[in-house]
């Protein structure tokens, strides 16, 4: 059964007869499951105009009132958890349990950001003049364009919408054309919450729609999560109006495993990185540097775990631990990366082929050994269930290889030697470093990358303030 959705602009769903449609496929079967608008520039203009019109009144509301609307939305999300999770699985391919976690985390994140309504702070600054008080105030940026990725499409709505709204902004969301249905289902829930018209708007569309949003003269901040290439295009479009950007882009996260590590813990954490969402997570470990004395033992443990992975259509067999890749294009990209690694000298310890599951975009869990740092598989984001392993002879060698990357989002170190751990944390040049645990951030942290992994960040107090700007008031009295 398929469903056609319509844009949500200024508080209503409107059917625009002139709008072309985008087909949405189930990646486990490649069957059509729905259609969304491929929005024109005129529809983008209408959504931005609605957001601009609503913004002043929304910002004038006390923050705690804005937070009340967010809590209504989070309750709707929780009340519809099972339906939303199944829709996410159907269009994105992640296993149902992970989709349920995504829905729960989304609701929790909205509530967490709502709690900041009473915690937004300014400053009182000492003046050089008698009887003058200098105040630093925090105010909303204005209209936000939120452009979403396909790997955690539902959560990323909240990551952009919740801080934006509690800070007094209004927003126009454009979901990925690969996974837009969950965003339209979210809009249906928002429509039941009496949110003032124009505060939240949703337009479907392709890259051209995203470009129209990023280059719009009335957008004050573009918040984008996705690939480096698309991030560059968005930054160029935003530059025309000197619009500020917040970009979370790609990653090639290194994990360093030392001889002093708990190898069972390290192998399981790295394994989870490679099968979580079929390896399609920008902050999960994508390359591993292992000290030579424990190289074989670690490799054997990871191969055994990867070999035990069950995969297929997560709605037909809810016991599988991994679903398909999101698209045929992504499947081809992963297969090509593995073949290139083999031509460059990497050896297959496991997998290495497109898997036949009666249709869909399935790839075998794959382990590559005898890798070296010059190989593309160690340098370019793969985004699939593929683990390349390279031997190192010291921690400093591992740090040198880890830092030699155009990316700088996340990293990890596995060791029971506190001195080694602290040395790594001082030297690793990444926005996040995980010690003896899996790569996954907390909502109260600050998820931010270096180099080509992005500009700005998300989550916590610092993520909230990404959606605010300052005004300094010089208050002279007698």
Catalytic site positions: 248
SS3 151: coil
Strands 31-38 and 20-26: antiparallel
What's the CA gap between 182 and 160, in Å, rounded? 15
CB of 326 closer than 8 Å to CB of 92: yes
Those residues with Cβ within 8 angstroms of residue 457's Cβ, 6 or more apart along the chain or in another chain: 246, 248, 431, 446, 447, 448, 449, 463, 466
Radius of gyration of the chain (CA): 23
What's the CA gap between 249 and 228, in Å, rounded? 5
Among residues 463, 97, 56, 467, the alpha carbon closest in space to that of 276 is found at 97
Q: Between the CA atoms of 86, 88, 91 and 93, what dihedral angle is there, to the nearest 10 degrees?
A: -90
Q: How far is CA 96 from the centre of its chain?
A: 18
Q: Token pair of 467, please?
A: 């959606």
Residue at token pair 């505060």: 199
CB of 266 closer than 8 Å to CB of 257: yes
Q: Token pair of 363, please?
A: 């790839």
SS3 235: helix
């Amino acid at each position: 059964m398929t469903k056609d959705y319509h844009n949500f602009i200024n508080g209503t769903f409107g059917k625009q007869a002139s709008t072309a449609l985008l087909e949405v496929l189930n990646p486990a079967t490649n069957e059509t499951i729905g259609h969304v608008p491929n929005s024109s520039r005129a529809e983008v203009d209408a959504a931005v105009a609605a957001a601009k019109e609503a913004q002043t009144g929304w910002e004038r509301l006390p923050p705690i009132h804005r937070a009340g609307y967010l809590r209504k939305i989070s309750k709707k999300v929780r009340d519809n958890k099972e339906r939303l999770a199944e829709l996410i699985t159907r269009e994105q391919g992640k296993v149902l349990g992970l989709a349920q976690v995504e829905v729960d985390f989304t609701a929790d994140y909205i509530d967490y950001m709502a709690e900041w309504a009473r915690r937004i702070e300014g400053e009182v600054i000492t003046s050089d003049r008698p009887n003058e008080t200098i105040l630093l105030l925090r105010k909303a940026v204005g209209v936000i364009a939120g452009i979403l990725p396909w790997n955690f499409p539902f959560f990323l709505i909240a990551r952009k919408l919740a801080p934006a709204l509690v800070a007094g902004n209004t927003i126009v969301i454009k979901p990925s054309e690969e996974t837009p249905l969950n965003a339209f289902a979210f809009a249906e829930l928002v429509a039941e919450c009496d949110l003032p018209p124009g505060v939240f708007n949703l337009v479907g569309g392709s890259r051209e729609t995203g470009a129209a949003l990023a280059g719009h003269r009335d957008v004050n901040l573009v918040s984008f999560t996705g690939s480096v290439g698309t991030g560059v295009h968005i930054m160029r479009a935003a530059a025309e109006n000197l619009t500020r950007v917040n970009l979370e882009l790609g990653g090639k996260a290194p994990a360093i495993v030392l001889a002093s590590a708990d190898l069972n813990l390290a192998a399981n954490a790295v394994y989870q990185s490679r099968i979580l969402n079929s390896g399609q997570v920008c902050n999960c470990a994508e390359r591993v540097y292992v000290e030579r004395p424990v190289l074989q033992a670690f490799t054997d443990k990871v191969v055994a775990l990867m070999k035990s992975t069950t995969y297929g259509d997560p709605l037909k067999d809810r016991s599988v631990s991994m679903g398909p890749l999101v698209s045929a294009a992504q499947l081809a990209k992963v297969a090509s990366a593995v073949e290139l690694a083999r031509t460059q000298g990497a050896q297959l310890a496991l997998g290495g082929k497109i898997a036949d599951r009666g249709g869909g975009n399935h790839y075998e869990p794959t382990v590559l050994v005898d890798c070296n740092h010059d190989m593309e598989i160690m340098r370019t984001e793969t985004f699939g269930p593929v683990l390349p392993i390279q031997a190192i002879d010291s921690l400093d060698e591992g740090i040198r290889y880890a830092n030699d990357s155009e990316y700088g989002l996340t990293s990890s170190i596995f060791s029971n030697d506190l001195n080694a751990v602290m040395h790594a944390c001082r030297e690793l040049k990444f926005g996040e470093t995980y010690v003896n645990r899996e790569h996954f951030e907390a909502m109260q942290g600050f998820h931010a990358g270096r180099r080509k992994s992005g500009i700005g960040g998300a989550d916590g107090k610092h993520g909230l303030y990404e959606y605010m700007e300052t005004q300094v008031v010089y208050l002279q009295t007698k």
